[in-house]
Amino acid sequence: MARTTKHKSSTAAIHDQTLHRGAGGELHQIAEGDTPVMTTAQGGPVSDDQNTLKAGARGPSLIEDFHFREKIFHFDHERIPERVVHARGYGAHGYFETYESLAKYTRADLFQRAGEKTPAFVRFSTVAGSKGSFDLARDVRGFAVKIYTKEGNWDLVGNNIPVFFIQDAIKFPDLIHSVKPEPDRAFPQAQSAHDNFWDFISLTPESMHMIMWVMSDRAIPRSFRFMEGFGVHTFRFLNAKDESTFVKFIWKPKLGLQSVVWNEAVKINGADPDFHRRDLWDAIQSGNFPEWELCVQLFDQDFADSFDFDVLDPTKLIPEEVIKPVPVGRLVLDRMPDNFFAETEQVAFMTQNVPPGIDFSNDPLLQGRNFSYLDTQLKRLGSPNFTHIPINAPKCPFAHFQQDGHMAMRNPVGRTNYQPNSRGEGPREDPTRGFRSFAEEIEAPKVRLRAESFADHYSQARQFFNSQTVTEQTHIAMALTFELSKVEEPVIRERMVAHLLNIDEALGAAVADKLGLEKLPKPADAAIAPRDDLPASPALSIIENGPMSFAGRKLGVLVSDGCDAALLKKLQAAIGKEGATVELVAPKVGGVTAADGTRLPAHNMIDGGPSVLFDAVALLLSPEGAGQLTGEAAARDFVADAFAHCKFIGFTAEAMPLLAKAGVEVDEGVMPLDDAGAIAGFVQSCRKLRLWAREPSVKN
């Protein structure tokens, strides 16, 4: 839907140009062309709002940075009462099972013994929308894992995308402000297709790699069960000798990758805004427990020094073809929370929660997250005692002298609540077992600088785009066109096209053409010229890494009175053997009566069970049933959408009139189901998930 053009009264326009509201609410006259100086909330002028204060350009962030502290502190407390980001989430309990000992690399307890299972809780989420938004928004997905180790909780707070929009945490409030509903009108909700977001992005070249991911199908996953998770940052493993190995964490789904297409996502949001939640619930309740492997990319300082990009830069990744991820354990989700609020809503993740043997790098985004998350939990959960809430409490023994405060459920017992004390009471530190940071030598000036090694903003964006199939590249171009078509200010659209030209000239030209730009802008100025020698990384493509299995998916079968019950039974058996499920869709939710008199209850009525809810569909109809359904718009849409979304369609001969009425031309993905052999061939085809060769014809 087209958005209306903004209109302001002439008085309001003059007011915007000439007046500035002071901290106390008073209005001050501003000279024409004069811009107010940015200050802290205390009125102190700010010299640099782009970089945190660090010990050297690549050093750790410093706690004395009062501007960052105030900015992130206020941001963390902006939402009442929900999370400021990742508000819409869904979680489940499970366990992490270690494959083999990693003692060579880390002394982290959970990696010491093969086969040991450690309790875990996972929360999946969208980033931008509110708690009441829908599941299939185009957005980054949070993939936060809390593992209750024997030496404290480990929170691997990641996303389903391995890079991020920004390089320095000081810009996070600006990023989120830009993508949230515009403050004067409080919309759009859970959407990035608006001026504020793209204005910020078009002025932030470091975001270009992430933009390629967010405009790809990675941002509209089929479900939580079919998406990867990434720790994003570079961390360290420390072994018993305090020797350091850099590590990146990747969760790989056992069921493989799968996403939806945009038109499908829009319709799913209308048909079932809880689609991802329902999918996870149904899978666990039915015993089809979702599973991921934890893989690690391990490398030393020599590799870090020689790699093409800075391993501290969160807008960069290490291609899997350069360092192959090694599976070190598996995550299984096997139990839903007893109460959503008590567990999923109250769970508190913090990147700084790591056990001894896992340490941080100087990634400036990670450094800021470590500093920020405690504020978030204090505001959201109302007390410094949020660890007293069962979902957040460690499952190992713990002891400290923290006491009192709002919601204190436990306090030190006895007279002594301090250390050192002469009575020998209470806990003491343990230099051997306790957490130790890597003894990195740092001798550098205190500066607000961005390292020069962070300056290449286009090369990996180009590598990602070149690693996609033609189908996926087309989807990226379509997504960019849609998003930018919602931007009202032409200069923002032009700035974005200028960036796209640095990533791929054909991509930039295609988007510019669709947007109706009269001429191409010149490519954006680049601090470092984009490289064209980076090889494609097949691991970055969803289609190239298809599962070749229909396991965990869902077949929707449209049935009518008089359908062939024996054929349906054979189809159900074949799909069940594949590890997938079958749901029946009928004219009435009460079901149908088959030709042999068998009563078949339906899971959905046709008006409430559109084909977008399924991974493939089949039509098992009688002549009378097909005749009835050809007159129903919902039935025609069921077939037409499945065809347009490149899904495999099985059908009996009686369903041909419905196919014709829906405008479906039989191709290799529209398959007759006339015997057991045909059913086997249909199921085998469904393993490919979609017939992408059909897409050009249905889009034209």
Convert the pLDDT of each residue in 27-52 to its tens digit.
444 455 678 998 988 888 999 999 99
Indicate whether 191 pLDDT > 50.
yes
Q: Which pLDDT score is estimated for 33?
A: 60
pLDDT reported for residue 164: 98
Mean pLDDT of 623-640: 97
Nearest to 248 by CA among 295, 310, 290: 295
pLDDT for res 472:
98
Enclosing H/E stretch for 122: strand 117-126
Q: Do residues 396 and 149 touch, judged by C-beta distance below 8 A?
A: yes
Tens of pLDDT along 329-347? 999 999 999 999 999 999 9
Give the residue numbers annotated as catalytic, written as ranges. Answer: 86, 159
- Nearest-Å Rg of the Cα atoms of the chain is 28
Q: Which of 70-74, 445-449, 453-457, 630-634 has the lowest mean pLDDT?
A: 70-74
The amino acid occupying position 356 is P
The per-residue pLDDT for 12 is: 35
pLDDT at 13 over 70: no
Lowest mean pLDDT among 8-17, 262-271, 524-533: 8-17
| 294, β-bridge pairs | 251, 329
- Mean pLDDT for 139-153 is 97
Asked if the model's pLDDT at residue 16 lies above 60, the reply is no
Q: Give me the pLDDT at residue 478, please.
A: 98
Total residue length of the chain: 700
Burial 186-210 (b: 16+ CB within 10 A, else e): eebebbbbbbbbbbbbbebbbbbbb
Q: What is the pLDDT of residue 616?
A: 98
Question: Cα torsion at 544, 550, 554, 558 (round to 10°)?
Answer: 100
Least confident of 497-501, 636-640, 655-659, 672-676: 672-676
Instruction: Write the pLDDT tens digit of every residue in 176-185.
Output: 999 999 999 9
What pLDDT is recorded for position 5? 35
Residue 19 in this model has a pLDDT that exceeds 90 = no
Q: Is the pLDDT of residue 417 over 80?
A: yes
Q: pLDDT tens for residues 79-116?
A: 878 999 999 999 999 999 999 999 999 999 999 999 99
pLDDT of residue 3: 35
Tracing tokens 């959960």 back to the chain, one arrives at 381
Q: What is the mean pLDDT of residues 558-585?
A: 97
Tens digit of each residue's pLDDT (9 = 90 or more) over 202-261: 999 999 999 999 999 999 999 999 999 999 999 999 999 999 999 999 999 999 999 999
**Average pLDDT, integer, range 154-172:** 98
DSSP character string of 294-321:
EEEEEE-HHHHHHSSS-TT-TT----TT
pLDDT of 143 strictly over 70:
yes
pLDDT, residue 679, reads: 97
Average pLDDT, the chain: 93
- Please state the pTM of the whole predicted model: 0.92
* Domains of the chain listed by start with CATH number: 54-196+206-388 (2.40.180.10), 460-543 (1.20.1370.20), 548-699 (3.40.50.880)
Q: What is the pLDDT of residue 35?
A: 87
The pair of structure tokens assigned to 205 is: 């070249």
Quickly list H helices, 156-251.
172-179, 195-202, 208-214
310 pLDDT higher than 50:
yes
pLDDT in tens, 429-469: 999 999 999 999 999 999 999 999 999 999 999 999 999 99
Structure tokens at 443: 């001798």
The pLDDT value recorded for residue 410 is 85
The DSSP H or E segment spanning 95 is strand 89-98
Contacts for 305 with CB less than 8 Å, ≥ 6 apart: none
Higher-scoring residue by pLDDT: 546, 127: 127
